Chains A and B, each alone.
Chain A
Amino acid sequence: MTSASAAAPLLALDRVSIRHDGATAPTPDGVTLDVHAGEVVLVLGPSGCGKSTLTLALDGLIPHAVPADLTGSIRVAGLDSAEHPVGVLSAHVAMVFQDPDAQVVTGTLLDEVAFGPENQLVPAAEVLERAERALKLVGLWERRRENPDRLSGGGRQRLAIACALAMASPVLVLDEPTANLDPAGIDEVYAVLRELASERDHAIVLVEHNLDAAVDVVDRVVVLDRAGRLVMDGPVREILRERADELLELGVWLPVSSLAAMRLADAGVVLDPLPLTPAELGAALDARPELPAPREAGAGRPPSPPHGASAGPAIRVTDLSVRRGGKRGPVVVHDVDLEVAAGDFLAIVGTNGAGKTSLLQAIAGVIPATAGAIDVLGLDPTRADARERSRRIGFVFQNPEHQFIASTVAEELEVGLRVQGVPEEDRAPIVERVLARFGLEHLRDQHPFLLSGGQKRRLSVGTALVAGAPVLALDEPTFGQDRERAAELLGMLRDLNDEGTTVLVVTHDLQLVADSATRTAVMADGRLLGVGPTAEVLAGPLIEQAGLRHPPLARATRGLANHPGWHGVTRMAQLPVAAGVGA
């Protein structure tokens, strides 16, 4: 490999700035970097720093297919990307994109993998050889005759990797390949990436915000700041360990284990070097003869309900069963009994197909219950009309755009009040209050579709609550978002919860669950395995029974041999704080 590194770089970027049509400033801005054979490079940076834009330029999609201004130069295997079409560059750089659904072109896995080499006029015999090798590497060869639609998200993303491998390009570029996947899918994709990285046949450029998954696969990290300028470039361990504070300041998320260690350092427990993975954190903790006692499970979150009111449950679900797709459809929720107290923050977790979204939709009256009873603040959502329902429970869909119906932000909120029959003169003050509550005042006349991702999400929560619903239900609200946006959203939900709103959320991000939800319900195969205080659920056996993986912090603390008192530590808030026992 040393001889390869000394050779000409596979990718050579020289002061690359890219400005999208309509944007005022370029992001990325003046990036210079080389990528050599066998390197695995992670590109980090806060939202909007131009990481994805940069990946599109690496195989010439910018400037050839996406309208944007590119200055500086990108040389791909010595070829100037501005002068060679994507078709030529694709022989040197293969791409994997974020959305697994938007990369499938043909009807079978085999045709899909063959598609790229066929376009490159590779002889048919070699196309098949390449397809076989690529499909075997990602573990999909046995399913080559199937329609890609039948694969899970993780399977389709592995297929996308196989398609990229079949291009036989020495560089592989992956743009947030796991952002749309559940934890099982993320593990599948990283198992493949780990193997590719260890073979050293490819240079890999990876954009990823989920550092917990990526950190032990990559060996070099490149960091862009908010303005898209390259600020750090070096070995991953060195940069994450030695410049962790700088990274946090930039708005880059660190692995949960590192964040936990930094929190511990504030409390006087300094772990050096900074652990990057749960295993490293666990080992570092175990190596210490003694640790301060962790804070109790409910630390950092108000006990539910916040005002000590025991007015009975806000939601009571009895023997609920739900079918999908009409009377003959499969039963996706079986005999669920669930009570949610007013003021709770309940997370419903489970693998894909566990029935968690169906349960939430039935509770919110989006789909009818097949059998059993649901009571939301004295109302049966299956029978009530939309007006009655939206006064009690607001539902937020995964994609906020789906719910928008008006042409301005203010109107979007007003519609909800009009449906309620609120007289016109009373609507304005309520709309103002909600706009202010969600930080959208300056956008009142904007079209909802033109908002940024975070603003759209805030507006969709606003529309769900404008009619005064004390219960808010959200379906996978962090899906496809980076850590920064996900944390922003969870912060907003915690605030709403502190103000008294009962929050129900379906998610597969267990660390976010751990840090936000007061209670957690675990589902598997349409049944409710159990429900309880989050810390207890995460420390208990239910997570594994449901086929889920413990969140990173729980993984680090569960195996501690010397500190049994720490086994129940699953959330950041349980770590000792500066003024506490550690001193």
Chain B
Amino acid sequence: MTAEAGAVTVRDASTDAPAAASPVVDPYAERAAPRGRFLYALNPLAKLAAPMPVMFALIFTRGVVIPTVLIVATMLLLFVGAKLGARTMVGLLVGTPLAVAVLGLSFGIWVDPARVDGSSAAASVVLLEIGDWRFTLAAYLVGLATALRIAALVLLSLLAGLTTGGPELVRAMVQNLRVPYRIGYTALAALRFVPRFGHELEVIRAAHRVRGTDHGRGPIAWLRRTVGLAIPLLASAIRHAERVALAMDARAFGAHRTRTERTVSRWRARDTVFVVAFWIAAGALYWWVLSAGVDGGFAV
């Protein structure tokens, strides 16, 4: 009951808080959910659970139709359901086809010609010939399908990735999935280390540059350099982690089996509807492609 009241107070306070203009994406900040964008209103677990079986099925999917449909559908979901920055939108719209094209070509070149079905019409279409090495349309299609699958996997993971903050996800895992809070919140605290260590590594690099020991070519020099950077970084990382652990202990972290949750993470009917609808739509897609025999289908 009291937890409810607390949660309400937080919401009220958030409406009049001035939005701090942050130049970089802050993985911790609680963003006020933009109105009318349904993805933010969903439980983070729903956004993970819905695409999960589809992502699993994708690994065993052949052909280009299923991943292409999934890519387009996911993009539509993101554009409608999330409030994306201009840069992200351009990245998605331009970056995805570009990445698919480049990856598709390189996968196509790398693919083992013996594994390409030589009897199909596409196998006789030669796109490029150097000596006795041939790059056939069939090989390109195999590469393209792989690239599309990867792109679809990435986009599906963005459904949760672009619309969920770290604390929100941890809350949902702790409250709805019953993950022990000690694990969830420790992971969240550890996330803070990442930018800190990045900065620290830069300073250590500069320090070694000043000493003139960043020279030398070849794998051995590279290895020595990397170890040289890793030792001071590790030393300071361990010290930092110990200090943070002490500070958390001193604030009663882990003293009780549960902790007060100011914000309640709920699994609502709309979460169930979203997950079920997602599964039905994906199932229908697979059924249509496989039964109509449009292309490839499952690889075993």
Q: List chain A positions with a Cβ less than 8 A from chain B.
A: 56, 59, 61, 64-66, 85-88, 90-91, 94-95, 97, 99, 101-108, 111, 114-125, 127-128, 144-147, 149-150, 163, 167, 361, 364-367, 385-387, 389-390, 395, 397, 399, 401-405, 415-416, 419, 449, 463
Q: Say yes or no: A102 contacts B260, CB within 8 Å.
A: no
Q: Say yes or no: A124 contacts B261, CB within 8 Å.
A: yes
Beyond A399-B236, A401-B236, is A90–B255 a contact (Cβ under 8 Å)?
A: yes
Beyond A91-B252, A419-B213, is A397–B245 a contact (Cβ under 8 Å)?
A: no
Tell me how far the C-beta of A193 lies from the nearest C-beta in chain B, rounded to whole angstroms.
18
Q: Say yes or no: A364 contacts B255, CB within 8 Å.
A: no
Query: Which listed residue (B6, B26, B253, B261) contacts A128, Cβ 8 A?
Result: B6
Q: Say yes or no: A95 contacts B260, CB within 8 Å.
A: no
Which chain B positions have C-beta within 8 A of A128? 6, 9-10, 262
| A117-B249 Cα distance, complex, nearest whole Å | 12
Which chain A positions have C-beta within 8 A of B17? 144-145
| A449-B20 Cα distance, complex, nearest whole Å | 41
User: Could you list 26 examples of A-B contacts with CB < 8 Å?
Assistant: A65-B249, A87-B249, A87-B253, A87-B256, A90-B252, A97-B246, A103-B243, A104-B192, A107-B188, A116-B252, A118-B259, A118-B261, A119-B254, A119-B256, A121-B258, A123-B260, A125-B9, A128-B10, A386-B209, A386-B214, A397-B206, A397-B207, A399-B236, A403-B210, A405-B228, A449-B231
Tell me how far the C-beta of B292 lies from the nearest C-beta in chain A, rounded to whole angstroms.
48
Q: Judge if B53 is at the interface, Cβ distance under 8 Å.
A: no
**A103: nearest chain-B partner, CB-CB:** B247
Report the 9 A-B pairs with minimum CB-CB distance, sorted nearest first.
A107-B28, A87-B255, A124-B6, A386-B212, A102-B243, A116-B251, A119-B252, A402-B207, A95-B250
Tell me how far the C-beta of A364 lies from the nearest C-beta in chain B, rounded to whole angstroms.
7
**A361: nearest chain-B partner, CB-CB:** B206
Q: Say yes or no: A367 contacts B7, CB within 8 Å.
A: no
Q: A87-B256, A106-B167, A127-B262 are in contact. List 19 more A-B contacts (CB 8 A).
A: A61-B249, A87-B253, A95-B247, A102-B240, A104-B192, A105-B253, A115-B251, A118-B259, A119-B251, A120-B252, A121-B256, A121-B260, A128-B10, A146-B20, A167-B251, A366-B210, A390-B211, A405-B213, A419-B212
| A426-B207 Cα distance, complex, nearest whole Å | 26
Contact string against A for B residues 207-237, beta-carbon threshold 8 Å, 1 for contact and 0 otherwise: 1111111110000000000001001100110
Beyond A85-B255, A119-B255, is A405–B208 a contact (Cβ under 8 Å)?
A: yes
Which chain A positions have C-beta within 8 A of B29? 107-108, 145, 147
Q: Judge if B204 is at the interface, Cβ distance under 8 Å.
A: yes
Which chain A positions have C-beta within 8 A of B26? 107, 147
**Total chain B interface residues with beta-carbon distance under 8 A:** 63
Beyond A107-B30, A147-B26, is A127–B211 a contact (Cβ under 8 Å)?
A: no
Q: Say yes or no: A86 contacts B249, CB within 8 Å.
A: yes
Q: Say yes or no: A105 contacts B192, CB within 8 Å.
A: yes
Which chain A positions have C-beta within 8 A of B6? 123-125, 127-128
Beyond A61-B246, A95-B247, is A147–B213 a contact (Cβ under 8 Å)?
A: no
Q: Say yes or no: B262 contacts A147, CB within 8 Å.
A: no
Tell me how far the C-beta of B230 lies from the nearest C-beta in chain A, rounded to whole angstroms.
11
Q: Say yes or no: B5 contacts A124, CB within 8 Å.
A: yes
**A102: nearest chain-B partner, CB-CB:** B243
Which chain A positions have C-beta within 8 A of B14? 145
| A514-B22 Cα distance, complex, nearest whole Å | 39
Query: Which listed residue (B20, B188, B260) contacts A122, Cβ 8 A?
Result: B260
Query: Which listed residue (A103, A124, A144, A385) contacts B244, Cβ 8 A?
Result: A103
Tell me how far the C-beta of B60 lies from the nearest C-beta in chain A, rounded to whole angstroms.
38
Q: Judge if B189 is at the interface, Cβ distance under 8 Å.
A: yes
Q: Say yes or no: A390 contacts B210, CB within 8 Å.
A: yes
Tell me how far the C-beta of A185 lies from the nearest C-beta in chain B, rounded to whole angstroms.
18
Q: Say yes or no: B246 contacts A390, CB within 8 Å.
A: no
**B190: nearest chain-A partner, CB-CB:** A105
| A146-B30 Cα distance, complex, nearest whole Å | 9
